[in-house]
């Protein structure tokens, strides 16, 4: 089977989750069948379309890893790939329809004369759907060109699919009602229509249709919110498609191998941002450190944190299993890269102002100063030995030490944190904190 599919967004603002999911399903279908994925920009609405919005589409698709085989910035034999540059092509097909008696003028606009018959769509997802065009009042003839000469979506959409040899149209279920009209245009032009598959709408948790105002609706929000693209892509794959087993975390290669329209659900897909967050956390936890460092680097740069991979990786590893969004990382690890870290006043009052706390810091510093091996296991053993010898609980040392070296009351394992800091920096921080709060 020769597969050519397309994603045809309108650049009117941003890339919506629904649009991204449509692009993803088309891309997966093309990759599964060894076919071609085409990007086509439907930019005939001059008042709403902007170059910035086009760039948002490029950036969003590339961030998700959806490369296109034909389209803007990718060349191809069926261009141009902007509808605003295809006027001559539309004129040619318009004249074909007019010469065939399919068009008539109505108050300056041009209408397509429907064949008054039943048109059946054999949809690859929704099954057979019939539309009866017998009643003119219910299905009036379709405008394809406005009085000002501009084109209506239905006409240019069909012409582009025909010219670009699209074999399958995979799009949102909200377009299902348009399909019988499009099939009539294909037949009037003397050609077979592509196969259609209409994927379910994306719904909010309450069952309402997801709109551009809903949280998580914009792909840009994931790009700017600290998400890993592979995690978001995996989650989007499951918005309406199922691999038919209980697994959710799936490598892309396996998704491509298993993806088929027969696995697309008929019912609406419920979007859950908390579930997407879970996917993100799972991916970050399982991610190789090299990839994790690559993804977190922009956030570190923005925060002014600079370090070599050798310096950075041990620090990142301490918090990697707790991170949900990459945007959290700079705040979690910033104290490792400066000696001028702030102290949480509430934690200081609760911990360091406690009677005996500063003395515990001095005792711990003395115990750690004599160590020849400064790893987590040795540090834990030495602290517990010290606590036992003094008849106190280890927490009497753990809590003040954590605040002393980080300024915080929570964080990674104290012993692993001290190991990464090293003996010299640990002892200096214990001493500096004791002197600061002794006054």
- pLDDT per residue over 322-363, tens digit each? 999 999 999 999 999 999 999 999 999 999 999 999 999 999
Looking at residue 216, what is its pLDDT? 66
Question: Is the peptide bond between 257 and the residue preceding it cis, with omega within 30 degrees of 0?
Answer: no
pLDDT in tens, 6-45: 999 999 778 999 999 999 999 999 999 999 999 999 998 7
The one catalytic residue among 128, 205, 209, 212: 212
Per DSSP, the residues of 319-374 read HGGG-SSGGGHHHHHGGGG-S-----HHHIIIIITSTTHHHHHHHHHHHHHT-S--
Mean pLDDT of the region 56-67:
97
Q: Identify the band that residue 406 occupies on the pLDDT scale cut at 50, 70 and 90.
A: very high
Residue 320 appears among annotated catalytic residues: no
Identify the pLDDT of residue 114. Answer: 98
- pLDDT at position 209: 81
> Is the pLDDT reported for residue 214 higher than 70?
no
* % of the chain surpassing 70 pLDDT: 98
Beta bridge partners of 198: 171
Residue-wise pLDDT for 102-116, tens only, equals 999 999 999 999 999
**CA-based nearest residue to 126, from 199, 26, 22, 203:** 199
Lookup: tokens for 434? 């004791």
Rounded to whole angstroms, how far apart are CA atoms 48 and 33? 35
- Report, in this order, helix, strand and coil percent for the chain, each rounded to 5: 50, 15, 35
Residue 295: pLDDT band with limits 50, 70, 90: very high
Residues in contact with 294: Cβ distance below 8 Å, sequence separation at least 6, in sequence order: none
DSSP string, 328-343: GHHHHHGGGG-S----
pLDDT, position 208: 82
Residues 6+ apart with CB under 8 A from 338: none
Please write the tens of the pLDDT for every residue from 260-289: 999 999 999 999 999 999 999 999 999 999
Helices 289-302, 309-319: axis angle to 10 degrees equals 100
Instruction: Look at residue 44 in the predicted model and tell me its pLDDT.
Output: 80
Residue length, the chain? 439
pLDDT in the model for residue 307 = 96
- The number of beta carbons lying within 10 Å of the beta carbon of residue 166 is 23
User: Over the chain, what is the mean pLDDT?
Assistant: 95
Element of type H or E holding 416: helix 414-421
């Amino acid at each position: 089977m020769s597969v050519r599919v397309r994603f045809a967004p309108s650049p009117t603002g941003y890339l919506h989750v629904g649009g991204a999911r449509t692009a993803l399903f088309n891309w997966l279908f093309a990759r599964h069948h060894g076919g071609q994925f085409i990007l086509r920009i439907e930019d005939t609405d001059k008042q709403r379309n902007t170059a910035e919005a086009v760039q948002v589409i490029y950036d969003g698709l590339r961030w998700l890893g959806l490369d296109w085989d034909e389209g803007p910035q990718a060349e191809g034999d069926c261009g141009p790939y902007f509808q605003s540059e295809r006027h001559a092509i539309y004129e040619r097909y318009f004249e074909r329809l007019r010469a065939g008696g399919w068009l008539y003028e109505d108050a300056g606009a041009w209408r397509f004369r429907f064949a008054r018959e039943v048109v059946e769509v054999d949809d690859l997802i929704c099954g057979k759907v019939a539309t009866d065009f017998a009643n003119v009042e219910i299905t009036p003839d379709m405008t394809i060109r406005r009085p000002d000469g501009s084109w209506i979506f239905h006409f240019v959409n069909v012409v582009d699919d025909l010219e670009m040899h699209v074999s399958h149209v995979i799009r949102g279920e909200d377009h299902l009602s348009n399909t019988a009209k499009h099939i009539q245009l294909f037949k009037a032009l003397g050609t077979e229509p592509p196969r259609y598959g209409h994927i379910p709408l994306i719904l909010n948790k309450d069952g309402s249709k997801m709109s551009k105002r809903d949280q998580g609706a914009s792909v840009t929000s994931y790009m700017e919110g600290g998400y890993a693209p592979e995690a978001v892509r995996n989650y989007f794959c499951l918005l309406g498609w199922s691999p038919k087993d209980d697994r959710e975390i799936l490598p892309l290669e396996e998704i491509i191998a298993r993806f088929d329209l027969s696995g697309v659900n008929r019912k609406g897909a419920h979007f859950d941002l908390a579930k997407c967050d879970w996917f993100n956390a799972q991916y970050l936890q399982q991610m190789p450190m090299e990839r994790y460092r690559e993804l977190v680097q922009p956030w570190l740069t923005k925060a002014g944190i600079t370090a070599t991979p050798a310096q950075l990786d041990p620090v990142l590893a301490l918090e990697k299993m707790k991170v949900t969004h990459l945007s959290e990382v700079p705040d979690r690890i910033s104290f490792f890269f400066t000696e001028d870290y702030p102290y949480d006043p509430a934690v200081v009052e609760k911990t360091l102002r406690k009677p005996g706390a500063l003395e515990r810091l001095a005792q711990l510093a003395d115990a750690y100063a004599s160590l020849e091996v400064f790893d987590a296991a040795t540090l834990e053993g030495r602290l517990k030995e010290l606590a036992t010898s003094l008849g106190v609980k280890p927490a009497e040392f753990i809590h003040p030490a954590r605040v002393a070296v980080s300024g915080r009351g929570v964080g990674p394992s104290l012993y692993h944190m001290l190991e990464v800091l090293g003996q010299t920096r640990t002892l200096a921080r214990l001493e500096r904190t004791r002197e600061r709060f002794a006054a």
